[in-house]
Structure 1
Amino acid sequence: MHPTTASAGCHWDGSPRTAYPRRPLRVAATSPSRLLRTGQSGRCRQCGHRIDWYQRADQRPIALHPTELDTSQTPASYRWHLSGGIAHPHSDGSAWCRIPHDVLCPEHALTTPPGPYLESLRRQLAVRTRRLIDTGQFTPASSAVCEAASRSRRDRPVRPVVQMLLGRYLADAPLDAIRCVAQTRQRHRCPQPVLDPSRPRGAWTLLPATPQRGQLTLPATLMAVYDLSCVPYAEQLRWRTQRCPTHAATPGAADLALAGWQIFDPLLHTAHLHTRLPHTRPTRCEET
């Protein structure tokens, strides 16, 4: 008696094996957001719970709680809804809404009471955070340690301030560690950095910490800024969209992550103000 080996097109019991073709993820040309939703979930650095990143109408990111909540038990000021991949700060008239994670984060202090329903959810998340810490599955980020590391490494700011497109932005990583946000053909995030030695570079310079429109004035002080104003407009736009030179030439490629830029505010980002230039700096814009 010889064993019977199933063919490659059938299961062990002889039933046909169905192979579904893999469909690539694409973004519709009419979509208001060029961001793929896959890979946009993360963990809060303060409490360790899951968050979903979305873009607002002004292109700024916002972290929303992954679960929809009852609109009748959620204050109107906390209600958000999604439309075409864009988060809007109001309700859409349905019985469910989304809510910013900061409202429920147990490590984030609220100025006004959120109500009994949301306060109960905050206590539940606080218990889960303590359980994660006690079991060693989560270690909360210490802002004091990050600030000390940023101040002790003046030659390489952890979160530098970059001036481009007539505005100033705070990066989420050192200049040489800012990664491209585009998706590769293997459905992974591009590992290439935005900073390319073969492209025109900016220059570190000391500029006044002048506020932008709508921000309060500060005493006259100089701060270290990586100035990209002297490079071509296309290069500044590549930095703003946070793409490597390869993906900057292929605008059809979707983004797999949000750009890490934040509009720089001298009052909110005082911990990232550097009054000294890095040790190694060009005196003018470098060109190829």
Structure 2
Amino acid sequence: MCPNPATGDCHWDGSPRHRRHPRPLRVDATSPSRLLRAGQSGRCRRCGNRIDIYQRTDQRPIALHPAEVATEQVPDSCRWHLAGGIAHPHGDGSAWCRIPHTVLCPGNTPTARLGRRLEEVRRQLALRTRRLIDTRTFTPTTPAGDPPATGVSSPARPVVQILLSRYLADSPLENIRCVAQTRQRLRCTHPVLDPTSPAGTWKLLPSGPQRGQLALPDTLMAVYDLSHLPYPEQARWRTQHCPAHAAPRGVADLALAGWQVFDPLLHTAHIYTRLPHPPASHSRDR
């Protein structure tokens, strides 16, 4: 047998001799979102089907069905469209739109009357879920409730006041990680709480109701207040960036910021009535 001679640009197995370095990409300065679409797809924890995660205008995430649907087949209240990487809760006048996954998820009860086409899509997702369960590649789970806030240690999900608004973090302050992309195309490992930057202050502030809610009992709650910091520093916390990625505008994000708008009625379990303090250090006996 005569071996196949290798060409000048490839090895004997057909692999290229010279690898092209990926072209560096930067987010445009006028882009309303710095989130990269790569890696922002996942699986629903209730049904196991694929979902695409986007940011809304209020920077909260929403899971959309990965395929477009004809606008005439979707109720007005379920129509979403994308513009500049941001999901908007209405149609854009085109013949196609996106639909939230919760409307089609087999694990949820439909809240709106679906048409014939959407019911067929929902049945297909249900069959796929059953197939995943039968092959033991998926186990449906229900999001567990957060444990109640007890004691006076550092809160597991603290309430932070940024730019005159209160947000509920998804982890302790020292564990909040930067969401920016590094030069190695990986997520930054630096924390947002940097010891060299100005720090916030723990305060007991009233847990007042939001607009449109009934009056709540006059209760003081522990809040990590950043209101006294300059605007750029508060904006850095809001975008969940470390000091190294706060200034560059072309740096992209690899994950969504973990902030959630604080609601005193929905997040009662995370209200601390006493200021947290660091664990006491035990002195050594001499």
Aligned position for 2:235: 237
Aligned position for 2:221: 223
Q: Which deviations, in whole Å up to 9, do the C-alpha atoms of 1:94-114 show, x marking residues without a partner?
A: 322101122122333444333
Q: Which deviations, in whole Å up to 9, do the C-alpha atoms of 1:158-205 show, x marking residues without a partner?
A: 322111111101112222221111111111111211111222222333
Letter matched to residue 211 of structure 1: P
**CA separation in 2, counterparts of 1:46 and 1:115?**
22
Letter matched to residue 156 of structure 2: V
Aligned position for 2:24: 24
Aligned position for 1:40: 40
Q: CA deviation at 1:11?
A: 4.7
- Name whichever of 13-22 and 157-166 sits farther off: 13-22
Find out whether 1:61 has 2:64 as its counterpart: no
**CA separation in 2, counterparts of 1:177 and 1:211?**
28
- Name whichever of 75-84 and 217-226 sits farther off: 217-226
**CA separation in 1, counterparts of 2:238 and 2:16?**
51
Could you tell me the percent identity over the aligned residues? 69
CA contact under 8 A between 2:26 and 2:250: conserved in structure 1?
no
Aligned position for 1:286: none
Structure-2 change in CA distance of 1:109 and 1:203 (3 Å): farther
Letter matched to residue 48 of structure 2: G
Aligned position for 2:208: 210
Letter matched to residue 96 of structure 2: W
Structure 1 unaligned spans of 5+: 282-288
Residue aligned with 2:171, SS = coil
Structure 2 unaligned spans of 5+: 280-286
Aligned position for 2:189: 191
Structure-2 change in CA distance of 1:30 and 1:167 (3 Å): closer
**CA separation in 2, counterparts of 1:15 and 1:57?**
45
TM-score (norm 2): 0.82
Aligned position for 1:147: 146
**In angstroms, what is the RMSD of aligned CA positions?**
3.1
TM-score (norm 1): 0.82
Alignment length, in residue pairs? 279
Q: Which deviations, in whole Å up to 9, do the C-alpha atoms of 1:28-81 show, x marking residues without a partner?
A: 233232222112212333333322122223333322111111222111211111
Structure-2 change in CA distance of 1:236 and 1:29 (3 Å): closer
